[in-house]
Structure 1
Amino acid sequence: MAGSPSTTPADQARDAAVEAALRKLDLDTKSRLLAGQDAWTLPALPEIGLGSLVMSDGPIGVRGVRWTAEDPSVALPSPTALAATWDPALARRAGTLLAQEARRKGVHVLLAPTVNLHRSPLGGRHFEAYSEDPYLTGRIGSGYVQGVQSGGVATTVKHFVANDAETDRFTVDNVVSERALRELYLAPFEAIVENAHPWGIMTAYNSVNGTTMTEHHHLVNEILRGEWGFDGINVSDWTAARSTTGAVEGGLDVAMPGPRTVYGEALAQAVRDGRVDEAKVDDAVRNVLRLAARVGILDSAAPAVTELPAPVDGNELAREIARRSFVLVRNQGALPLKPGTVALIGAAARDARVLGGGSATVFPDHVVSPLDGLTAALPEGSVRYAVGADPNTELAIADKGFELRAICRDASGEIIGTAFAPNGQIQWLGNDLPEGVTHDTLHTVELTGTFTPRETGPHIFGVKGVGAFTLTIDGTTSYDDIQRPAKDDPFGAFFGAPVPRAQAELTAGEPVEVSLTHVVDLPEGIPMKVVSFALVHQEPQRAPDELIAEAVEAARAADTAVVVVATTERVESEGFDRADLKLPGHQDDLVRAVAAANPNTVVVVNAGSPVELPWRDQVAAVLLTWFPGEEGGTALADVLTGTYEPGGRLPTTWGPLADTPVTQVAPTDGELSYTEGVFIGYRAWDKEGRTPTYPFGHGLGYTDWTYESIEIDGTTVKVRVRNTGERPGREVVQLYVAPTEPDPERPARWLAGFAGVEAGPGESVEAVVELPRRAFEIWDELSNSWSFVKGSYEIQAGRSIADRRITLTTTV
């Protein structure tokens, strides 16, 4: 496969400009260009007309170089939500919006999308990846990359490769067979290189089969660049590069972040010592300059995109993606809502969880909660709210009721700068400091202001971070000591658990002074200057039985009860894997009690990854809303009221942990063996003969569909379906390929194609799907090549992997 796009006169002109610029650079300058000058940028080289290349995290928004709520971003639904739309064209529109956001923030490279697979539902970053299926992941990822790059902004498809869990992610050696690598974990990257021609890729922290990914000559140079023809930049995950010679020989172009990296001066010295051929450095610089030319910051070259897409309304697109991602997995006539009163229950209904934790975090300028959305959509006075149960069993970032600012002081105590703090999180990376403040002069940061409680009772305050802290509440110093990391993790300040340090009896509506002072000290193992800590808080905790009783009373008095259950940042986040699939707190007890009081109970599941739903058969409807982004509450109202139907289908299998086939995410003696081979997700459930709670591809709408016919002509399959319901709707026609002669070395069936179609009541429509050659190939480890497996296959069309409606048999 040739992954690079065909050479055009414009490509040739850019290449010529790159070569001319390269010839003007000496060894030291070239080496410096390959190392981050700070957390997010590469250095400018005015002598060749090169601007500073700016990178920023995604994938659901563009944070920019400032990790702060002062610089808001559009927050789209989570990647699991985008994949649940089963709509590559919608993914492309999402990418187009993010390119628009990137240009607004001066960003040239978006560090996204994440196309690792859902190998196990325990993976902590599950919500940030698309699917358990490599074909679906490749299709959605291709649309996303095409959209971003249509706006002249580069993507870095990540994390290459097999970065499918968080436990010991910096050091783990994932032992994966070549066949599993090719058929599963490399497959989405390969498809995106072929179909979307990404301008960048990010290599992961982990090792694969004994070699760390930033030094993996075989996977990077031989496969990615060699076989696939990738011609973009290869950037390390942040702090992943460990060896100067190993990285450059392994095909790594840029080591991030700076200023301390294995490149720069170390690389130049390695060339002078004869340990590295300068031609290797030139290859890397050439890739960086090509990227700079494509995004328009090399003066001598025309950018790859000269006509930008039409502007996109971020709020409207966030709302559309959310409602089209919602998966209705159960409906006993409760949805759409009937006229009448609604008891809205759950802490997450009031304080919405709209995105996952970790580097995917952005700060939207507004968030529409389910309470906001339903209150606005339904008749005045028809919604009654009750907390019922709070999933936050730990302290959370100080937010509601807090008015804070950051005061920076030098070692003498003099104020050298101040900044507004929209919440209790301080996260300054690199040179992202308040005006007038430098790392050399900064000694302490005080986060100070007032807190106005919304509830009377004992409030808990605490600290998230590492180092020396002083916490004062209402004039009383409650903590003055050093907080140490719970484990040896250089990112503990970012992803560590919050620690309670003070308790204060407060009265609702009466403000108190709060202050958290941190002595700034660069953590060991972080090769960049960073200030990161947080003031955390927990409201008074009432007895669970009392809260549930109030919710039951509200539910019994209402025509419909809508219960919103959720995970928290301490359940789903970068930095750690999940211990189980249970909903935190007393939420399961809440649902059972409400369902017993009101048979017309609808449960909204606000989680980015699978959770167990032990009460699912006791409620009238279950709607999965993932992490729905800033417009989640508005989209929820759209769907519950029936203004729009829920459009999503499951991109991954949902089932109880006890039945889940692949659960091992923690290494043993530094190794994590992928012993399941090619059997993950629905492939593994099929092999084990187990029935999940909800199968891959499952999703209900507000209408019904009949599959009338299927035919095949060469590689083109046509499926005719009819809308037999009373409302217009959209159906995702899914095609699965199954060998007629079972082979224990191959899955029983696998997704080979899909298409979305729309029809009004009584109308029929034809879905046309092209079957790719790869659907009939396996990786032959003896010949080290793809092998087309001839024989008889069933082409099964249906609504999910378990609901196959119509079949034909073909010979290939």
Structure 2
Amino acid sequence: MSSDTTATASDRPWTDTTSPPGDRARALVAAMTLEQKIAQLHGAMETIDIYALTAQAAESGADMDQLAAQIRIERHVAGIEELGIPRFRITNGPVGVGMGDGTPSPPATALPMTIGLAAGFDPELAHQYGTVIGDEAATLGQHVLEGPGVCLHRLPTAGRNFEYFSEDPYLSGVMGVAVARAIQDHGVIAMGKHYAVNDQEYERFRTDVEVDERTLRELYLLPFEMLVKDAGIAAMMSAYNRVRGTYATENRYLLHTVLREEWGFEGYVQSDFWSCRSAAPSINAGMDHEMPDAKWLNEANVKAALHDTSLEIETVDRALVRRYTQMFRLGQFERPYAPGQIDARRNGEVSRRIGEQIAVLLKNENRTLPLEGVGSIVVVGQTTFVDEACLGGGGSSKVDPLYTVRPMDGLREVLDGLGSTVALSKVTVADDLSNLEEARRAAAAADAVVIMAGLVATEGADQDDASMLHDQNRLIGEVGPVNPRTVVVLKDGNPVLMPWIDAVPAVLEVWNQGSEDGHVVADLLLGVVNPSGKLPTTYPRDWADTPFAGHPERYPGTDEGAGYPVIRYTEGLRMGYRWYQSEGITPLFPFGHGLSYTTFELSDLAVRPTTGDGTSPLTVEVTVTNTGDVAGAEVTQVYLGLPEAAAEPPRRLVGFAKVRLEPGASERVRVVVDPGATHHPLSVWDACTHGFVVLPGEYTVHVGTSSADTPLTATVTVG
């Protein structure tokens, strides 16, 4: 070691890369002045009144994209050159590298929405997804990717469901863990969000969520627990809403007791943008970093709190050590800022492959799909869905795409690649349906009709209902029956009502696909790719079937004299498919549903052991056979019914495995259900012991291809 290096390590011990990250962080903080410490507690954006700006946007009818465009968001913490602290650059996620540090934000690959990724039921797909995000964030010189989001699809119309994975906590956790690991493999901090129960956008700055502890633990906190324990996630983002009367950014029970004492979280907690509501109470509770400005953790407030002892300097130091430890852990102090160029073609191809494996074939009567043996195809729909690639996801997570593939361009390219001479045409239907008759005539004259419809949800607002906008139900209901070979392609980020379902023979859910929309949809429609996705959330037949019909206390909440809406999760554990099964209601399409261009059969179920003490892993094996004439993939889904004494809904997802098979081929699929796993598959939350426990009794293993189709069962007895 040279004398210069020795001097540096002696004078600036935090630069010694051989020291543990925590030691380096503590050494750095010890060398900082109070003013430097305070400057590092918050983002560097000039403080604005976001609440007033949001209210103005609502009054004027502006959406979150327009609102975001008005705000010059500097997503960073200013560096301190004399200490070697880099400018800390933060970019939004989780559907790609979104609004990053800088104006305008750097373009990136617009990936399919996260809800669609979950439909893949494949952790390897999630890892590829996270790899693209991590690679691009690192290439652009960003230190933090704000994602994955693992709140649940409690409300079918929630504005940010497109950013979240599923209504099921286990599926959300598995996919979130894979994404987070892949992001951090690139030296980028992954940030789980929005902690916790930010399951709706309505009045998100004000509303209070009241939820019992058992429901909170078994459902809504579970994927966050998996991120901490299984992914080693470096950061969490606290939510806007109150939880049991206390804002999430001030909620010591969530930020300290649960997150750190019980789960062992070693990362740092950042506020959602403008979710911080105080100085001393927030940082004392366990919030470590305010973004995007210094509305609360500014020099005047922090010094005043230190002076009156409502805040201690050790607590300030703790917050900084937590963040610096993760930065040192991921090598961010040593990495020079040298933004490069994203490999758009390579990452676009990955996005295309992911997109093709997450589409869900909801209905396919008379083998309408794939579209083979037709001489002409007409594409019908409103401009958002037929004229441009459907990027989806309004608000701060929206990605500025490097490129897009429009629907008609994608169809033409794929048809040309197949050497097809199919005549292709399009009718763009006005939002007011003024040219609907033109679409009907074109549909009647074509050999096949593809109606593209859907919705683009947005941060900051929930949908008024589960219907598609601009009277698209009428469009489908009137154009669909005109041609017996009509396919509806849904491009959305939420389940939608389908009053027209009996009028069309085929429905393909492709989600908001992003950059590769045109190629993905073409490959699926023309049979280049066989759809293999499964619904990650239940599609209701009617709004009256949901837990919210006639229950305003569940949503949008009621004013109970507090002066703000109080939302009560009184449905408890009966959320998503658990609700429909508990209430005996048949949804339009159940959780886990998804068809294929081929057929599969599950047989020869074996579960071992069949008796035990509730600590040994269960091995579930089943043979999956492709009984059709096309190669395809099937997802074996394992659900567990708990003993009657548990007072649980009928079943919960505890395992799944996706297998790809050639026609006539079979494979023995194995799923291991470990009682000691982070998602507590056999356990219930016990208030007396304040922990998860396995109850004695009979457990029923249900195996099939959706939550409603589990023909194979076995019983396991826990003594």
Q: CA deviation at 1:33?
A: 0.9
1:135–1:752 Cα contact (<8 Å) kept: yes
Residues 362 and 311 (structure 1), Cα distance of their counterparts in 2 relative to 1, 3 Å cut: closer
Offset at 1:261?
Answer: 3.2
For residue 215 of structure 1, the aligned residue among 242, 250, 266 is: 250
Question: Aligned pair in 2 of structure 1 residues 389, 693: CA closer, same or farther (>3 Å)?
Answer: farther
After TM superposition, the structure 1 stretch with the greater mean CA deviation from structure 2, 145-154 or 375-384, is 375-384
Counterpart for residue 382 of structure 1: 423
Which residue, out of 642, 654, 657, partners 2:543? 657
Q: How far did residue 715 of structure 1 move?
A: 1.8
Name the one with the larger helix percent.
2
Aligned-pair distance for 1:357? Answer: 0.7
Contact 1:31 1:265 in 2 (8 A): no
User: How many residues matched?
Assistant: 640
Give the SS at the match of 2:396.
coil
Task: After TM superposition, list the pairs within 5 Å mapping 1:77-476 onto structure 2.
Answer: 77-299=112-334, 313-332=346-365, 333-340=367-374, 341-347=376-382, 348-378=385-415, 379=420, 382-390=423-431
Residue 70 of structure 1: CA displacement? 7.2
Could you report, residue by residue, the CA deviation over 1:550-585 in whole angstroms, capped at 9, with x for unpaired residues? 1111111111111001224xxx21111111111222
For each residue in 1:655-682, what CA deviation from the matched residue of structure 2 results, as whole angstroms up to 9, or x when unmatched?
Answer: 1212112464312122111111111100
Is 1:561 matched up with 2:449? yes
Aligned equivalents of 2:500 and 2:306: distance in 1?
64
2: CA distance between counterparts of 1:802 and 1:772?
Answer: 23
State whether structure 2 residue 604 is matched by structure 1 residue 709.
yes
Identify the residue that residue 593 of structure 1 maps to in structure 2: 478
CA contact 2:208–2:245 (8 Å) conserved in 1: yes
1:375 partner letter: R
Query: Does structure 2 retain, via aligned residues, the 8 Å contact 1:331–1:621?
Result: yes
Matches within 5 A, 1:31-46: 31-38=38-45, 39-46=74-81
- Equivalent pair of 2:545/2:585 in contact (CA under 8 Å): yes
State the alpha-carbon separation in 1 of the partners of residues 378 and 100 from structure 2: 42
Q: Do the aligned partners of residues 37 and 680 (structure 1) sit closer, same or farther apart at CA in structure 2, a change above 3 Å counting?
A: same
Tell me the distance in 2 between the aligned counterparts of 1:190 and 1:767: 27
One-letter code aligned to 1:731? E
| 2:641 is the counterpart of 1:738 | yes
TM-score by length of 2: 0.86
Tell me the equivalent position of 1:804.
710
Q: CA deviation at 1:263?
A: 4.2
Cα distance 1:662–1:751, how it changes in 2: closer, same or farther (>3 A)? farther
TM-score normalised per structure 1? 0.76
1:764 aligns with 2:680: no
**Displacement of 1:28:** 2.2
- Is 1:755 equivalent to 2:657 in the alignment? yes
Give the Cα–Cα distance (whole angstroms) in 1 for the partners of residues 33 and 345 of structure 2.
43
Give, as a single letter, the amino acid of the residue that structure 2 aligns with 1:563.
I
Secondary structure of the residue aligned to 1:174 is: strand
State the partner residue of 2:24.
17
Deviation by residue 1:226-277 (Cα, 9 ceiling, x = unmatched)? 1111111100001111111111111010011114333444223311332212
Q: Which residue of 2 aligns with 1:429?
A: none
Query: Which residue is equivalent to 2:614?
Result: none
Q: Give runs of aligned pairs for residues 616-655 of structure 1, distance below 5 A.
A: 616-655=501-540
Q: Which moved more, 1:28-37 or 1:585-594?
A: 585-594
1:68–1:43 Cα change, 3 Å: closer
Once the two structures are superposed, residues 8-34 of structure 1 have per-residue CA deviations (whole angstroms, 9 ceiling, x without a partner) of x98952222222212211222212211
Secondary structure of the structure 1 residue equivalent to 2:435 = helix
More strand by share: 1
* Partners of 1:605 and 1:626 within 8 A in 2: yes
| 1:612 aligned to which of 489, 497, 500 | 497
Distance in 1 between residues matched to 2:279 and 2:29, nearest whole Å? 21
Partner of 1:576: 461
Task: For structure 1, list consecutive stretches of 5 or more residues without a partner in the other structure.
Answer: 1-8, 304-308, 391-540
Q: CA–CA distance in 1 between the matches of 2:151 and 2:109?
A: 24
* 1:97–1:312 Cα contact (<8 Å) kept: no
C-alpha distance in structure 1 between counterparts of 2:79 and 2:106, whole Å: 24
Per the alignment, in what secondary structure is the counterpart of residue 20 of structure 2? helix
Matched residue SS, 1:54: strand
Cα distance in 2, alignment partners of residues 310 and 384 from structure 1: 33
Q: Deviations over 1:58-86 (max 9, x none)?
A: 11111353576773211000010111111
**1:583-617 alpha-carbon deviations (Å, 9 max, x no partner):** 22232222222222111110001111011111112
Aligned CA distance change for structure 1 residues 143 and 357 (closer, same or farther; 3 Å): same
**Residues 278 and 296, structure 2, Cα contact 8 Å, conserved in 1:** no
Distance 1:122 1:321 in 2: 25
Question: Measured at CA, do residues 312 and 631 of structure 1 come closer, stay the same or move farther in structure 2, by a change above 3 Å?
Answer: closer
1:790 is matched with which residue?
696
Across the aligned residues of Structure 1 and Structure 2, the Cα RMSD in angstroms comes to 2.1
Unpaired runs of at least 5, structure 2: 1-15, 46-73, 337-341, 609-616
1:666 equivalenced with 2:673 (yes/no): no
Query: Does the Cα contact within 8 Å between 1:77 and 1:628 map onto a contact in 2?
Result: yes
Of all paired residues, the percent bearing the same amino acid is 37
